[in-house]
Amino acid sequence: MRRSPDALLARGVALPHRETGAMTRFAGALCKKDAPKSLRLGRDRIRGKWFLLAGVFLLSGLVYGAFVGGQTQRLFDALHGGIDKFAVAAGFGVKRVTVEGKTHATDADITTALQAGPSNLTLAFDTDAAKARLESVPWVKHAQVMRLLPSTIQVVIEERVPYGIWQNRGQTYVIDSDGVVLAPALREAYGHLPLVVGEGAGKRAAALLDTLAPFSELKEQVVASFRVGDRRWTLQLASGLEILLPDDNVAEALQALTRLEAEHGVLDRNIAAVDLRLGDRVTVRLRDEAPAMTAPVAGSPAPEAPTASTKRVAQKGST
């Protein structure tokens, strides 16, 4: 007589454990599935480590080979160039250049010296090198170069001031107060500037003009100053009269000439030249006459004792 399971349980009789076929098959499939999976993960982990070691070894070999072969700089330049090109393409290239203070320097001179263009990365632009190149332009005395991100280079320059015209060996130049040659020039284009002529005249023009400054009436009559032997000056006046100055003590010589002019009006007479090279006398040469006239200078040394600065010139004779 078969009893139902509920009746057996009510009487305390244990039921035998029986597994169904479906549960057995599911458990077996689960075991078969899990075992190979854990094994494959272990193999992949080991294989990944070998790939990583191989990659590191290969990269180390490439770096070592480049170092031994002297190619590291080329690799670095290639990498750096690639970064620069990417930054330029992103809008950080030089697109605009502003220049302040330019009057005489040409656009071509500034552009050539600056060396900035669309292919240059603004952030990497060497402002110190650009400043040095700009200050090598004759007209540029000082320069300041600044980067304005993302794409502007700003230039501020201080130009040299034209001071005089220097004529030497048939060539005429504009010079500044330091005697720096600024550019070739036509005399007619700079008629308001003083003219100095001869070897070394450009470098010493400022000193001469400073000495002439207190003698304004005489300075206004000077049309050219000739440097003689790079040691002294001869002034040529608008009337054609020449004034031969000494090697030094020029101011004292001009004061003597001023006294003679006030007393005798020598600059208005028929005189071709006034020689001030001797400290104790003033010698004049009349036009179209060979003999010279001499006039002692008040307060000067005796004729037999010329000053040390003029004795050498007196022995050599007139220049």
What DSSP letter does each residue of 170-193 carry, written as one string?
TEEEEE-TT--EEEE--GGGGTTS
Please give the pLDDT value at position 114: 92
Q: What is the mean pLDDT of the segment spanning 21-43?
A: 48
Grouping H, G, I as helix, E, B as strand and the rest as coil, residue 122 is helix
Please give the pLDDT value at position 68: 54
The tens digit of pLDDT for each residue in 104-130 reads 999 999 999 998 877 777 777 899 999
For residue 199, what are the contacts with CB-CB under 8 A and spacing of at least 6? 168, 227, 230
Mean pLDDT of the chain: 75
Rounded CA-CA distance 59/55 in Å is: 6
Beta carbons of 88 and 119 less than 8 angstroms apart = yes
Q: What is the mean pLDDT of the segment spanning 163-182?
A: 95
Pairing of strands 195-197, 164-168: parallel
Rounded CA-CA distance 33/29 in Å is: 6
Q: Is the pLDDT of residue 168 over 60?
A: yes
pLDDT band, residue 311 (cuts 50/70/90): very low
Please give the pLDDT value at position 160: 96
More confident residue, 300 or 156: 156
Q: Residues 92-159: name the CATH superfamily.
A: membrane protein fhac (3.10.20.310)
Q: What is the mean pLDDT of the segment spanning 48-55?
A: 61
Indicate the class that CATH gives domain 164-316.
alpha beta
For residue 279, what are the contacts with CB-CB under 8 A and spacing of at least 6? 246, 249, 252, 253, 297, 300, 301, 306, 307, 309, 310
Task: Compute the chain's Rg from CA coordinates.
Answer: 48
Q: What percentage of the chain has pLDDT greater than the value 90?
A: 45
Q: Any idea which of 72-81, 263-272, 278-287 has the lowest mean pLDDT?
A: 72-81
More confident residue, 74 or 29: 74
Cβ-in-10-Å burial (0-12, 13-18, 19+) of 176 comes to buried
DSSP, res 302? P
Please give the pLDDT value at position 51: 58
Structure token digits, residue 242: 């020449």
Q: What is the mean pLDDT of the segment spanning 176-188?
A: 91
Which amino acid is it at 20? T
Q: What percentage of the chain has pLDDT greater than the value 70?
A: 61
pLDDT band, residue 185 (cuts 50/70/90): confident
Identify the helix (H) or strand (E) that includes residue 74: helix 72-87
Q: What is the mean pLDDT of the segment spanning 150-169?
A: 93
pLDDT band, residue 213 (cuts 50/70/90): very high
Q: Where are the domains of the chain?
A: 92-159, 164-316
